[in-house]
Amino acid sequence: MTGNESRLRFFIVEDNAIIAFDLERRVETLGHTVVGSADTAETAIRGILETLPDCVLMDIRLKGEGDGIMVAEEIQRTSPRPIAFLTAYSDKGMLQQARATGPTACIIKPVRDQDLHQLISRIRSG
């Protein structure tokens, strides 16, 4: 990151604590900040609306009721922002539902550093 590039603020929505920790570490290693995380739809919506991150890394499957697609729909309705869906599932129907919310990216797990670099470039280019 060069001196004139600001740190992006990320919010991580992931139901697997190990994956969430790994994503947080990767984001911070790239010079950005993680402002919060959640593993359920309810806590994700509340946390995203409280922190207003520059980007949300959103798992599709979450703990409890609701999923990442529902969270993305609510966020885009109330406070639109870049969302990158993360999923281990390549189910075409689920990915079509996710794409209907207008995400910045859909990334198949495992997430690679290259995926995060491309996402950051997309966010910066508007």
Mean pLDDT, the chain, whole residue set:
92
User: Does residue 1 sit within a domain?
Assistant: no
**Residue 107 in domain:** yes
Peptide bond into 110 cis (omega under 30): yes
Q: What is the pLDDT of residues 40-65, one digit of tens each?
A: 999 999 999 999 999 999 999 999 99
Within-domain flag for 2: no
Domain span at 62: 9-125
Q: Which of 102, 105, 99 is nearest to 123 (CA)?
A: 105
The whole-model pTM stands at 0.92
Number of domain units in the chain: 1
- Residue found by looking up tokens 């890394």 in the block: 57
Structure tokens at 117: 């670099």
Q: What is the pLDDT of residues 11-31, one digit of tens each?
A: 999 999 999 999 999 999 999
Report the amino acid identity of residue 105. Answer: A
Residue 4 lies in a domain: no
Domain assignment present for 44: yes
CATH code where residue 119 lies: 3.40.50.2300
Q: How far apart are the first and last CA of the chain?
A: 17
Percent of the chain scored above 70 by pLDDT?
94
